[in-house]
Structure 1
Amino acid sequence: MTPLKSPWYLCLIASLLSSATFEATLEAAPSPSDEPTIAELRVGFNGAYKLGCWTPVEIELTGGAKQFTGRLAITVPDSDGVPTTVVSAEDRPVGVQPGQTTSARLLVRVGQSNATWLVRFLAEGQVLAERKFYSGPEQDTGAVPGGVPATNRLLLEFGPTVGLGELVRAQDSNNEQTATKIIHVEQTAELPTDWIGFEGIDTVLLATSEPERYRPLLQNSTRVESLRRWVELGGRLVVFCGSEAEELLADDGVLAELIPGKFAEMVPLRQWQALETYSGAERPKTNGGRLDLRIPKLENVQGHIMANAGSPENALPLVVRSRLGLGELVFVALDFDRPPFRDWEGRTSFLRKILNWSSSEGELRQADKTLASVDSDDMIGKLRVALDNQFAGVEVVPFAVVALFVVVYILLIGPGDYLFVSRLLKRPELTWVTFPLIVIGVSAAAYWYANWKKGDQLRINQVEVVDFDLESGLARGTVWSHFFTPRVDDYDLTLQPRYLASPIANHLQSQVSWLGLPGYALGGMQGSAAQTTAFSQGYSFTPNLAGMKSVPVQVWSTKTISARWSAQVDSPIAPSLYRTGDELLGGELSNLSGMGLDDCLLLHGNWAYYLGPMADGVSVKLDHTIQPRTVKTSLTSATAGDTTETDTADDGTVSFRSAESDVTRLVKVMMFFDAIDGRRYTGKLHRYQSFLDMSHLLRQKELAILLARIRQPGSQWLNSDQPFQSDDDKHWTFYRFVVPVGTAPSP
């Protein structure tokens, strides 16, 4: 048989079909995109972060077919639901290489527990990549963890675990607002490079028995410097360092600047007695109850030696409670992640004392029951309410008046209009004229009345607390400003810090932000429903967080903003104080500030000395005419606030309930919350802005704190570089001077 021959046109058709199929295959084959994609968003520390606090985030980008250099932007809501955006610095661009993964870090402040996150990569004047993330279960695609309440207690642990889990389980209650959470960090790269990234952390704990974890910090000390700065500005650090101290604490060691003395040598530790006395727990029965350890010996120790294995003349500090700037530093010359302490039954009680936590769970639970369910659970909520009630010339329209307006309006547009046009004028068709006139008239009357009650001027109520450490020259300022605006407007806000009478220009660092309301109250960051806003565009922070651009505020509304600043300044106080034999104070203080200081109160240990006003250049001598009272009595007495109270207890204190609207009283309680047993006194928490509490410095016998108030306005907010103020603003400005106390002079 001969083969069949296909006609020529069949061959042509087959060729065309084959070509079309090949082209379709080429079109369907995936090709790499030119633009990068946003692959992942990692929030906080292992997913844990506080609402209303700055927290680090890490964005992971995957490169496309082309190389790009740009900036990252993250948008999240503030506590009012208004979108806020942070953008990476222009001088630190983010480079994305083709096909490679790049990560970058930013700081964000989230105001709602169910926030939506918008992440964008900006380059060449456009958005090249964009992705939304939602707060929810981590296993969900595109989900990130939600923030924990601002009143939670977050413990950040780096290095091997020291047994905090047992302590938290024994200590914690079931109240969501008071929960304590442990965050374990494995690598130094997870630590923030900016101190403000630690803002949501209550205590950082470093365990050092595995020194290889710390060696990367020798190559780049930025993270150690950030940690140190955070402590200096009010943070709390606990360092456990025993067997590896020679490497880590020596002069060139990575932690040499984070201990309350100078490393001298390694010495043996054989006895448990000092640890038993400190913790109140018995030694283990193994090894005959003896130790065989080598621990570091510190010299020139600054602070209070809580446990001493040596003699008074030749101390061997095991536990030192000290300070670093305005913050608290606790040093433990032991490794609690290793035997025999790892298996010691007394480890929990030891850690409780290290952290200075109450051991009475019953008292804590009783205090939790006093927390109001419809109010903020934190002291900052009380301060916001008090500031809201202090606006000059601004009155809230009573509900009864609103109801009366509604009733009058209904009567006018209904029977009133009918009787007027039908019975009096006898021309019902005129209702087409009278009805809109009534609507316009009532609306105008309501607007006039509201404007008359609330005013037509900006109002600002501001509290500022400035703390100064005489030994280091460090000044720290904390500003809370609650402002009312009678119109819809937006503002470009920055802060011009002032120290005493002068603006600060040199060596200044400042961060500004919105201030949230903790809890489930109306407007709270954990409200059952997210706050809605009419402002879809929102506002943005400058890359250095020193300003906010285009902050929108609705008509007849308030907003609370805050700022933190620090600088090196000259000392305005010349102290010459010493401890007497009965642990009271002697000596004198001189005011060299260039301005008068009012309501001066000198605090030392459990005692407070009322000095009254100190004019510029005046010295006050502590003698028998100035009798001390307890710190709690002095800070909560009848005359401790803006007004004098008459209803006092037997010990001279004023109940918190009768004084909770007094701004001065609230601020004094917040400044020394632990010293006055604030949890019991107020029934509230003080964790959102807990760095303000300087009670730990009162435990240092070598220190005293001079508390004073100045009548001049403090730091100045600027709107587009112009003063953001009115003639009826109110200011509460307090100063705390941390002064050294020496020993009594020889007779």
Structure 2
Amino acid sequence: MRIENRMPRFALALAAALTLLGSAAGQSYPIKIKSVKIGFPHGPNPTQRDDDQTGSYVCKANTWAPVYVELQVERKEKRDLAIVLETTDPDDLGTSVAVPLQNLSDVEPGTILSAAELAFLPCVRIGGRELTVTVREREPAGANPTGGRQVAEPKRLSYVRSRDTSTYVVLSLGSRLPGFEVPAEPKAKDDYRPAKVEQAVIDNPFLLPDRWYGYDGADLVVLATGSASVPNFLTPLFTNPQHKPRLDALVEWIRRGGRVVVSVGSNAGIVASFPLLQEILPMQVRKDAPNEQVKNLLLEWVLAANNTTKTKQHGTLIAKTGTFSVANFAPQPGRGARQIVPPVDTVRENARLAVVQAPYGLGRVTLVGFDLDRSPFLDHPEKAQVWEQILRECGSERATQSGNKNNYGNYGGVVEDELATDIRQHTDSFASVPVISFGWVAVFIVLYTLLIGPVEYFVLKKVFKRLELTWITFPIIVLTVSAIAYFSAYALKGSDMKVNKVDLLDIDPATNRIYGHTWFTVFSPRIDTYKVGVEPSERWAAGGQGSSLVDWAGAGSGRKSSFFRRSYFYQLAQPGDATAGTFSDGLVNVPIQVWSTKAFAADWSGQSDRQAPLVASELNHPPAKPDDVVGTFTLNLPFPELQDVYLIYAGEAYKWDAITSGVPVNAYLDRSKLEPDWLRKLSSLSGFVNQPNVNPRSGTATKVSTGLAPIFAAMFHDEAQRNEDTAAPRNATLRRLDQSWRLSTLHRDEILVIGRVPIVRDQPAEDLMTDPASPSPTKLWLRDLPVSGKKREPQQGTLQQETFVRVYVPVKPFKK
């Protein structure tokens, strides 16, 4: 009878639950996500295809990529909304980032908003293979973006088709670069051959990233100005204020180490009218006579990438009928440029200046004086060889070279490049935290097993003769052993937070900018969540100016994400937001387990105080010997001195004494100080060199790593692999740091000064980050984000600091 009475109520409850589930499943959202594309729009020959057999957009594993989202408005929406992207990091922790949408209250139902019509372009860095995109109510700054009410059904991509990190991506802006190709087979044994080259194309300025790291996946950007798309792309990009955030992002990417090629010919007059583009170029396009007509043009290249003065001919451009346009160049005031085509010492009838190159910040800018997207270049029988030379001499010498190494780990997971792995493992090595060997763990497990098994049984059976007492003794044993294990680990590993940090400083006096690259690992003594931010110290960024990007470090796993994973989110200020331009970017609620580590990386920039410049240069070329250097320079750095110093000029390195801050340096380049093997010697300082060290807790000797982080190898990667012809590149995600191209014998407009600050080990973290003479150029925020005007919470625990410095000291023509 009771069962019969309960059945109707159970049936009603079940029906109600099914009704709720059905209504939730059939819920109508005001916004519909029609499509999601990750990466740059593909070129004519995509190497991967989506499930619908259309070309897959070009994104690389372990790098940032733009995300193009197409929305449909189902009904008017007055709330503030944001696009939220959710993925995972290498530790299988969930990450999310939100990008605001424009006001949709006046958008009529049924309207489709393409990616080009959205106010901001989302970007994401994928550590796994999955991505979820949705639209939610926009949460206030500092709040988890996934907490907002959902207003669109999520779009889940279970398998992101990313290229591996060794792929060399050529991103063409404005033009589809017809005829782009590289040779399929080498003609000679020493010919360069790209292993994996893929072209991407953005021909709509509204699809350009509006954050500089949106170009993270591009190895070389080509801006060809000869096509008919100039009125629809180039002119709006440089004249329409609506595109200013996009243009600023592109320029900032170049300043931070991007490589770009600009070809100018038939539309040279238009190019000459854009002041910002003229500023970026190695030489100006003449306004009075921007171009002239020629019948032919000899293409004879200097092989600067090989650090030689050898030349290589790639035929002559010849107009089929009549003539073709070639740009006229004029020197940039106060700046030099490297002449590439023709070679400096070439004297021929038709040898005119066609290709020049110069730095812009840390970037490499090449100006080609003829159209790469129009005839006669499109009809040139050796255009593939010319493109090969452009990739090599204007991008990176080894970036497209592959070896026999597999770029994929287990289950398709992407392995980070070797240099990034070496740096991360270096910062993850805490000498003062003893590592318990597996042998001791195995012994402990055996003893524990014996204790809860035979020992407990024997005691209860033979001593107490009451086996039922196991209900009491078993929990006591488990709790006791757990307490012993915890307090033993506590005694060994300690209760202090520890941070290992490495900073690379690039100081560019020409633009009064400092570019910082920071890698650090946090050792947490407890289960905790952290807000992670990085800002340069006041002496490295006058008035708190600058911008930073804080990110995770590691290799994507490629695994399916866990259902019960914990998560954190990025706080990124969008261009136009009130917080844009302040140190507000960072990571929020990053979970770190007890006695565990988490690795991070950051890119930041700032401006030094013009009233107290970090570099004062009086270097110039004497008129009698224009290839030599005379004069002095002074490094006014916050720390006392640099050691392991080298001065590099015209491809040659001179060993120098330690440079003391504030003391003028006479740049007399004594050839007796030449060090042909300088980079190998510096690289040998890296790695793990074991020396005895006393553990302060136990008083016993331990082994610690005293080697340096492999930063010198990252500074000049291609040069470090000069004699390894078949070696695969080791810097796929660190290519922006490689300045090997400045080591050419033709590079005579600056002296590179490289060195490091003596390493500081396990000192109080707050003292190191606040001391005016500290070797640490950055401050870590681990409890809050460095928003302007907010006071930083003092950093607890200890810090190990390594600082490397690279200064670009300008050399100017002699002043009479």
Q: Which whole-Å CA distance do the structure 2 matches of 1:431 and 1:645 have between them?
A: 49
Q: Which whole-Å CA distance do the structure 2 matches of 1:642 and 1:282 have between them?
A: 43
Q: CA deviation at 1:291?
A: 8.3
> Residue 529 in 1 paired to residue 592 in 2?
no
Query: Residue deviations 1:438-485, cap 9 Å, x none?
Result: 222222222233333333221111111121111111111111111111
Query: Residue deviations 1:83-137, cap 9 Å, x none?
Result: 22222359x6555623123342343333334213131231699525133333357
> Residue 668 in 1 paired to residue 716 in 2?
no
> Could you tell me which residue of structure 2 aligns to residue 214 of structure 1?
234
> Could you tell me which residue of structure 1 aligns to residue 157 of structure 2?
135
Q: Which whole-Å CA distance do the structure 1 matches of 2:416 and 2:343 have between them?
A: 46
> Could you tell me which residue of structure 2 aligns to residue 729 of structure 1?
799
1:615-634 to 2 correspondence within 5 Å? 615-623=660-668, 627-630=672-675, 632-634=677-679
> Could you tell me which residue of structure 1 aligns to residue 423 of structure 2?
383
> Could you tell me which residue of structure 2 aligns to residue 710 of structure 1?
757
Which consecutive unaligned segments of at least 5 residues does structure 2 have?
1-25, 42-56, 140-146, 187-193, 304-310, 575-583, 692-704, 759-774, 785-790
Distance 1:303 1:77, change over 3 A: same
Deviates more, 1:621-630 or 1:552-561: 621-630
1:206-605 to 2 correspondence within 5 Å? 206-210=223-227, 211-212=230-231, 213-217=233-237, 218-220=239-241, 221-222=243-244, 223-248=246-271, 250-252=272-274, 255-264=277-286, 265=289, 266-275=291-300, 280-281=312-313, 283=315, 292-300=323-331, 302-308=336-342, 316-356=352-392, 364-365=401-402, 367-369=403-405, 376-389=416-429, 391-498=430-537, 501=539, 504-517=542-555, 525=556, 527-530=557-560, 532=562, 534-544=564-574, 546-570=585-609, 571-578=613-620, 585-599=629-643, 600-605=645-650
> Could you tell me which residue of structure 1 aligns to residue 724 of structure 2?
680
Letter in 1 for 2:93: V
Q: CA deviation at 1:679?
A: 8.8
Give the SS at the match of 2:617: strand
Distance 1:479 1:107, change over 3 A: farther
Q: Which whole-Å CA distance do the structure 2 matches of 1:309 and 1:350 have between them?
A: 15
Distance 1:332 1:729, change over 3 A: same
Q: CA deviation at 1:427?
A: 4.7
Deviates more, 1:567-576 or 1:402-411: 567-576
Letter in 2 for 1:242: G
Q: CA deviation at 1:204?
A: 0.5
Give the SS at the match of 1:129: coil
Query: Residue deviations 1:508-545, cap 9 Å, x none?
Result: 2222222232xxxxxxx1x3524648544533424346
Q: CA deviation at 1:421?
A: 2.9
Contact 1:461 1:730 in 2 (8 A): yes
Distance 1:281 1:404, change over 3 A: same
> Could you tell me which residue of structure 1 aligns to residue 8 of structure 2?
none
Instruction: Give TM-score scaled by structure 1 length.
Output: 0.81
Q: Which whole-Å CA distance do the structure 2 matches of 1:665 and 1:36 have between them?
A: 49
Q: Which whole-Å CA distance do the structure 1 matches of 2:438 and 2:716 have between them?
A: 38
> Could you tell me which residue of structure 2 aligns to residue 66 of structure 1?
76
> Could you tell me which residue of structure 2 aligns to residue 522 of structure 1?
none
> Residue 45 in 1 paired to residue 40 in 2?
yes
Query: Residue deviations 1:223-255, cap 9 Å, x none?
Result: 33322221112111001111221222x234784
Give the SS at the match of 1:59: strand
1:62-101 to 2 correspondence within 5 Å? 62-72=72-82, 73-89=84-100, 93=103, 95=105, 97-99=107-109, 100-101=111-112
Q: Which whole-Å CA distance do the structure 2 matches of 1:479 and 1:362 have between them?
A: 23
Contact 2:635 2:661 in 1 (8 A): yes
1:686-697 to 2 correspondence within 5 Å? 686-697=731-742
Using the aligned pairs only, state the percent identity. 23
Q: Which whole-Å CA distance do the structure 2 matches of 1:151 and 1:411 have between them?
A: 51
Distance 1:241 1:363, change over 3 A: closer
Q: Which whole-Å CA distance do the structure 2 matches of 1:485 and 1:60 have between them?
A: 41
Query: Residue deviations 1:48-96, cap 9 Å, x none?
Result: 2233333322333322333424121222222322222222359x65556
Letter in 2 for 1:710: V
Q: CA deviation at 1:696?
A: 2.5
Q: CA deviation at 1:296?
A: 0.9
Give the SS at the match of 1:356: helix
Q: CA deviation at 1:387?
A: 1.4
Contact 1:461 1:731 in 2 (8 A): yes
Letter in 2 for 1:597: E
CA radius of gyration, larger in: 1
> Could you tell me which residue of structure 1 aligns to residue 30 of structure 2?
35
Deviates more, 1:596-605 or 1:158-167: 158-167
Give the SS at the match of 2:460: helix
Query: Residue deviations 1:141-173, cap 9 Å, x none?
Result: xxxx433333432210124444675217558xx
Deviates more, 1:592-601 or 1:356-365: 356-365
Letter in 1 for 2:778: S
Q: Which whole-Å CA distance do the structure 2 matches of 1:283 and 1:246 have between them?
A: 27
CA root-mean-square deviation: 3.8
Q: CA deviation at 1:579?
A: 5.7
Deviates more, 1:414-423 or 1:672-681: 672-681
> Could you tell me which residue of structure 2 aligns to residue 192 of structure 1?
209
Give the SS at the match of 1:350: helix
Q: Which whole-Å CA distance do the structure 2 matches of 1:106 and 1:42 have between them?
A: 12
Letter in 2 for 1:514: W
Q: Which whole-Å CA distance do the structure 2 matches of 1:34 and 1:369 have between them?
A: 48
Q: Which whole-Å CA distance do the structure 1 matches of 2:162 and 2:235 have between them?
A: 32
Letter in 2 for 1:245: A
Q: CA deviation at 1:668?
A: 0.7
> Could you tell me which residue of structure 2 aligns to residue 698 of structure 1?
743
Contact 1:496 1:504 in 2 (8 A): no
Query: Residue deviations 1:656-705, cap 9 Å, x none?
Result: xxxxx776351110011122226939855202121111222333211111
Query: Residue deviations 1:538-564, cap 9 Å, x none?
Result: 334243461222222222222122222
Q: CA deviation at 1:385?
A: 1.1
Letter in 1 for 2:585: A
Q: Which whole-Å CA distance do the structure 2 matches of 1:549 and 1:416 have between them?
A: 48
Letter in 2 for 1:702: D
Q: CA deviation at 1:730?
A: 0.7
Give the SS at the match of 1:380: helix
Q: CA deviation at 1:412?
A: 1.3
Contact 1:247 1:253 in 2 (8 A): no
> Could you tell me which residue of structure 1 aligns to residue 6 of structure 2?
none
Contact 1:478 1:563 in 2 (8 A): yes
1:57 to 64, 67, 70: 67
> Residue 613 in 1 paired to residue 658 in 2?
yes
Q: CA deviation at 1:287?
A: 7.2
